[in-house]
């Protein structure tokens, strides 16, 4: 049972860090803050929080596997629709997990790959956030808590608003 609390706590922390890093990345690319805080500081913060999201997700998946409240096998957690337990919710979590893994690994290898390719992969952070949001709302025991719903709503709202601004900028530039 203790591990089930680790599953829930790490899931919520990973999700909060993911939302925060996506918002940080969009603040960097839209430049709406006009150099305050300095872009280098924001970049470091974005990388650090993104790292925490990746570590938190790793802990979340490991805790789901270790926990015996529901008997998951490794393939249940790595291949969508293998497990009969809330298959759509799990599939979205698995997709979010793979997207985050690719984004984190390519960011670590950023200097060793063409910038264009790195950027294209980095755009996957928006689908990763969408997949994780729906996963959390469908799979989570805490998703009907008002505080969780408010935090998800506010975080996702800011991310969507900034993403819209960013696409408008991309279209006009
Ligand atoms: C292989 C990938 C994943 C698996 C197998 C998985 C599995 C699970 C399971 C079984 C639950 C239900 C826990 C409960 O009953 O409360 C859950 C909830 C949750 N997951 Fe995941 N997950 C995965 C990926 C992710 C990712 C990428 C994120 C976000 C970064 C995430 C965030 C959450 C959150 C926020 C909850 C809700 C916690 C709660 O409300 O108690 N998960 N996940």
pLDDT tens across 41-66, in order? 999 999 999 999 999 999 999 999 99
Q: Is 47 in the pocket of ligand 1 (CB under 6 A)?
A: no
Closest CA to 97 of 66, 128, 122, 74: 128
Q: Which residues of the chain have pLDDT under 50?
A: none
- Rounded alpha-carbon distances, angstroms, from residue 134 to 61, 129, 153: 17, 9, 12
Q: Is 93 in the pocket of ligand 1 (CB under 6 A)?
A: yes
Other Cβ atoms within 10 Å of 91 Cβ, number: 18
Q: Is 11 in the pocket of ligand 1 (CB under 6 A)?
A: yes
| pLDDT of 172 | 65
The answer to whether 158 and 150 are in contact (CB under 8 A) is no
φ/ψ (deg, to 5) at 126: -70, -50
For ligand 1, atom 37, name the residue with the nearest CA: 140
Distance CA 93, CA 134 (A): 8
Closest CA to 139 of 94, 104, 169, 98: 94
| pLDDT of 129 | 94
Cis peptide bond upstream of 37, omega within 30: yes
| pLDDT of 138 | 92
Helix (H, G, I), strand (E, B) or coil at 50: helix
| pLDDT of 35 | 80
Q: Is 166 in the pocket of ligand 1 (CB under 6 A)?
A: no
**What is the whole-number distance in angstroms between the Cα of residue 57 and the centre of ligand 1?**
8
Distance CA 122, CA 117 (A): 9
57 alpha-carbon distance from chain centroid: 8
Among 64, 69, 135, the mutation site with the greatest number of ligand 1 atoms within 8 A of its Cβ is 135
Q: Where are the domains of the chain?
A: 2-170
The answer to whether 85 and 72 are in contact (CB under 8 A) is yes
| pLDDT of 101 | 96
**What is the whole-number distance in angstroms between the Cα of residue 55 and the centre of ligand 1?**
13
For ligand 1, atom 18, name the residue with the nearest CA: 140
| pLDDT of 147 | 86
| pLDDT of 166 | 80
């Amino acid at each position: 049972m203790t591990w089930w609390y680790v599953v829930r706590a790490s899931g919520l922390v990973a999700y909060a860090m993911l939302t925060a890093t996506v918002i940080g990345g969009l603040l960097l690319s839209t430049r709406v803050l006009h150099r305050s805080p300095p872009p280098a500081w924001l970049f470091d913060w974005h990388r650090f929080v993104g790292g925490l999201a990746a570590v938190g997700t790793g802990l979340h998946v490991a805790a789901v596997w270790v926990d015996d409240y529901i008997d998951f096998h490794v393939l249940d957690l790595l291949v969508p629709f293998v497990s009969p337990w809330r298959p759509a919710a799990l599939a979205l979590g698995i997709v979010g997990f793979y997207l985050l893994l690719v984004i984190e690994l390519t960011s670590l290898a950023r200097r060793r790959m063409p910038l264009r390719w790195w950027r294209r992969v980095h755009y996957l952070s928006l689908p990763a956030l969408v997949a994780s949001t729906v996963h959390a709302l469908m799979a989570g025991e805490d998703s009907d808590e008002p505080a969780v719903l408010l935090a998800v709503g506010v975080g996702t709202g800011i991310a969507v608003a900034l993403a819209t601004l960013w696409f408008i900028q991309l279209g006009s530039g």
